[in-house]
A and B are shown apart, each in its own frame.
Chain A
Amino acid sequence: MRTQSPEAELPFVDQPLVLGQRQFRSRLIVGTGKYRDFAETRAAVEASGAEIVTVAIRRTNLGQNPDEPNLLDFLPPERFTILPNTAGCYTAEEAVRTLRLARELLDGHNLVKLEVLGDPNTLFPNMVETLKAAEQLVAEGFDVMAYCSDDPILAKRLEAIGCVAVMPLASLIGSGMGILNPWNLRLIIEQASVPVIVDAGVGTASDAAIAMELGCDAVLMNTAIAHAKQPVLMAHAMRRAVEAGRAAYLAGRMPRKAYSADPSSPISGLIGR
């Protein structure tokens, strides 16, 4: 099933999302974890319109039948840009080793999602290790998209190191709590010269729209779609939300006013006066 391209629905042609040397039309990046099976994963990815999908790198299960279906059979790298992550890594060293393996696994593909965790309960990022890993990976020729806290100073630092995107959390991974600190996000967006992608914390479509209205360049999500009651329908909603938020951002919202004495309907020509 081939869904309509974003341009077909928007009354204008948007700038592409640029990540290193690569360009994308979709501004929604989706994860592939927590689905019931690979068929549901694929259906949700299709409905989301995403061109980039994240994957994790894990040890082969040596007891398992090697002929069992593989995720990449359902999401072929020829069709989707596969974004390997370092989820579950707690040190720079583990993250760098994982992504070197990923690059080998994906035939030299160098666009990666760096994520170094600091705490198993909150999955909050360890920014000290993240910065260390980012330096190493950039030096080794990776295009690094870095998951980070919503600290504008550290986001700037990641950019200075050479990351191709900074990806601040909206709220904790898997929490679905939405955007807890739009002010920090706005600061990060205002100063950034690489794409800012909200990664983690989106719970429903309005959260994604708000992120895009704030001026984020893209949104990355997994659980909000995979743990919806109907994941494919939620993927559809997220696609529309990201497109709507992007269009609203570009259109430029009206200024907020505490009250208005300027109704939308004419004030003259009323009957009976």
Chain B
Amino acid sequence: MANTPSTLTLRLNGAPEQVPVGTTVAALLERHGWLGKRVAVERNGAIVPKSAYEATILCDGDVLEIVVAVGGG
């Protein structure tokens, strides 16, 4: 996926995703309707705490995992 000057490409839950340059974790969650829901975010192998969603600006090539709790044993 080629970036325009104003976009960057993330890997989000294993799939490529293009977002505008300057997108924060909070904005990414908002885009998918997950902001304010009970989710957790890992960026390049490190936890992004809820308190850092607004301040964390995403970079080209970032690998993100967004998870929820589901039924399990």
Task: State the CA gap A60–B35 with chains docked (Å).
Answer: 12
Instruction: A117 to B15: give the CA distance in the assembly, Å.
Output: 25
**B57 touches A (CB below 8 Å):** no
Number of A interface residues in the complex (CB < 8 A): 39
Complex: how many Å from CA A67 to CA B69? 14
A82 contacts partner chain B, Cβ-Cβ < 8 Å: yes
A residues 134-180 in Cβ contact with B at 8 Å: 173
Chain A hits for B38, CB < 8 A: 70, 72, 105
List B contacts of A72 (CB < 8 A).
38, 69
Question: Please, which residues of chain A bring their CB within 8 A of the CB of B68?
Answer: 57-58, 60, 70, 105
Closest to A221 in B: B73
Contacts of A60 in B (CB 8 A): 13, 32, 34, 39, 66-68
How many angstroms between the C-alpha atoms of A54 and B70 in the bound complex? 9
Complex alpha-carbon distance, A102 and B42, angstroms: 11
B67, A101: Cβ atoms closer than 8 Å: yes
* Distance, CA A221 to CA B72, complexed state (A): 10
By a CB distance below 8 angstroms, the chain A residues around B34 are 60, 66
B66 & A33 in contact (Cβ 8 Å cutoff): no
> Nearest Cβ in chain B — how far from A148, in angstroms?
15
A195 to B53, CA, bound (A): 39
Q: Is the CB of B40 within 8 A of A58?
A: no
Contact across chains for B72 and A101 when beta carbons are under 8 A apart: no
Question: A-side binding surface: helix, strand, loop or mixed?
Answer: mixed
B5 interface hit (Cβ, 8 Å): no
Known interface pairs A60-B67, A100-B42, A104-B49. Does A32 touch B37 (Cβ–Cβ under 8 Å)? no
Given known pairs A60-B32, A66-B33, the reply for A101 and B40 (CB within 8 Å) is yes
Say whether A249 faces chain B, with CB atoms less than 8 Å apart.
no
Select one of B37, B65, B73 contacting A54, CB under 8 A: B73
In the complex, per-residue mask of B14-53: 1 if CB is within 8 Å of any chain A CB, else 0: 1100000000000000001110011111100101011000
Q: Contact check: which of A105, A173, A222, A223 meets B40 at CB < 8 Å? A: A105
Closest CB of chain B to A14's CB: distance in Å?
25
Taking a contact as CB atoms under 8 Å apart, the answer to whether B40 and A33 are in contact is no
Interface residues of A (CB under 8 A from B): 31-35, 38, 41, 54-60, 62, 65-67, 70-72, 82, 84-85, 87, 97-98, 100-102, 104-106, 173, 200, 220-223
What would 20 more interface pairs be, CB under 8 Å, given A32-B72, A71-B69, A101-B47?
A31-B72, A33-B73, A35-B71, A55-B70, A56-B72, A58-B68, A60-B32, A60-B66, A62-B12, A62-B66, A65-B33, A66-B32, A71-B71, A82-B69, A100-B42, A101-B42, A104-B41, A105-B38, A220-B73, A223-B73
11 contacts between A and B (CB under 8 A): A32-B71, A56-B71, A58-B67, A59-B13, A60-B66, A62-B12, A67-B33, A71-B69, A97-B45, A100-B42, A105-B39
List chain B positions with a Cβ less than 8 A from chain A: 12-15, 32-34, 37-42, 45, 47, 49-50, 65-73
Kindly list the 5 A-B residue pairs having the minimum CB-CB distance in the complex, ordered from nearest: A56-B72, A31-B73, A222-B73, A66-B33, A105-B40
